[in-house]
Amino acid sequence: MHPSLYHPFYLLLVTLITFSVMKDYAKWKYRFIIKHDFSKKNYAILLALFFTLFIGLRPVDERYFVDMNMYDYSYYFTYYGARFVFDRHADNFIFDNLFAWMGSQKYESGVFFFLMSTIYFMFMLCACLKLFPKDSLLAFVVYLGAFSTFSFGTNGMKAGAAASLFLVALAYYKDNKIITILFLWLSLGFHHSMLAPIVAFVIAYFYKNPKVYLFCWFFCLLLAALHITFFMTFFAGFTDEHGAGYLEEETEDMVRNVSGFRPDFIFYSAVPILIGYYLISVKKIKSEKYNFLWCVYTLTNCVFLLCTYGSFINRIAYLSWLMIPFVLLYPFLNNRWSIRQDQYLRYAVLGHLGFTLFMNIIYYQI
Positive or negative CA dihedral for 199, 244, 193, 271? positive
Look at 322 and 230; give whichever has higher pLDDT: 322
Q: Give one DSSP letter per residue of 184-222, joined into a string.
A: HHHHHHH-GGGHHHHHHHHHHHH---HHHHHHHHHHHHH
**Angstrom distance (rounded) from CA 177 to CA 6:** 39
- Asked whether residue 256 carries a pLDDT value surpassing 50, the answer given is no
User: Which residues make Cβ contacts (< 8 Å) with residue 177, sequence separation at least 6?
Assistant: none
Question: From CA 47, how far away is CA 7, in angstroms rounded?
Answer: 17
pLDDT at 29 (0 to 100): 63
Helix, strand counts (H, E) of the chain: 18, 0
Closest CA to 61 of 5, 109, 118, 3: 3
Cα(143)–Cα(126) distance, integer angstroms: 12
Predicted local distance difference test score (pLDDT) of residue 342: 84
Please list the alpha-helical segments (H only) found in 92-208. 95-104, 109-131, 136-144, 151-154, 157-172, 177-190, 195-206
Q: In whole numbers, what is the pLDDT of the chain averaged over residues?
A: 89
The more confidently predicted of residues 172 and 231 is 172
Q: What does the DSSP 8-state code read for residue 258? A: S
Task: Give tens-digit pLDDT for 340-353.
Answer: 888 899 999 999 99
Is the distance from CB of 127 to CB of 170 less than 8 angstroms? Answer: yes
Q: Please determine, for residue 187, whether its predicted confidence score (pLDDT) is greater than 50.
A: yes
27 Cβ contact list (under 8 Å, min separation 6): none
Whole-number pLDDT of residue 313 = 85
Give CA–CA dist 296/292, Å, rounded: 6
The whole-number pLDDT of residue 253 equals: 40
Please say if the pLDDT value at position 244 is more than 80: no
Looking at per-residue confidence, does 56 or 229 come out higher?
56
Average pLDDT (187-192) is 96
Q: 249: which strand partners?
A: 310
pLDDT exceeds cutoff 50 at 125: yes
CB proximity list for 47: less than 8 A, separation 6 or greater = 17, 137, 140, 141, 144
Q: Is the pLDDT of residue 198 over 90?
A: yes
Q: Is the pLDDT of residue 200 over 50?
A: yes
Is the pLDDT confidence value at 258 over 60? no
| Most distant CA atoms of the chain, gap in Å | 64
SS3 249: strand
User: What is the Cα–Cα distance from 216 to 273, expressed in whole angstroms?
Assistant: 12
- Which DSSP string do the residues of 290-316 spell out, in sequence order? HHHHHHHHHHHHHHHHHTTTBTTHHHH
What pLDDT, on the 0 to 100 scale, is given for residue 23? Answer: 86
- pLDDT at 251 exceeding the cut of 50: no
> Distance (Å, rounded) from C-alpha 165 to C-alpha 191?
10
For the ranges 121-130, 253-262, 306-315, the maximum mean pLDDT occurs at 121-130
CA distance 194 to 189: 9
Put residue 177 in one of left, alpha, beta given phi > 0 → left and psi -120 to 50 → alpha: alpha
Q: Which residues have CB under 8 Å from 1's CB, separation 6+?
A: 9
Name, of 14-18, 246-250, 305-309, the range with top average pLDDT: 14-18
Please give the model's pTM, rounded to 2 decimal places: 0.92
Q: Model confidence at 32, in pLDDT bands (50, 70, 90)?
A: low
Is the confidence at residue 223, as pLDDT, over 70? yes
Which of residues 35 and 97 earns the better pLDDT score? 97
Q: Does the pLDDT at position 249 exceed 90?
A: no
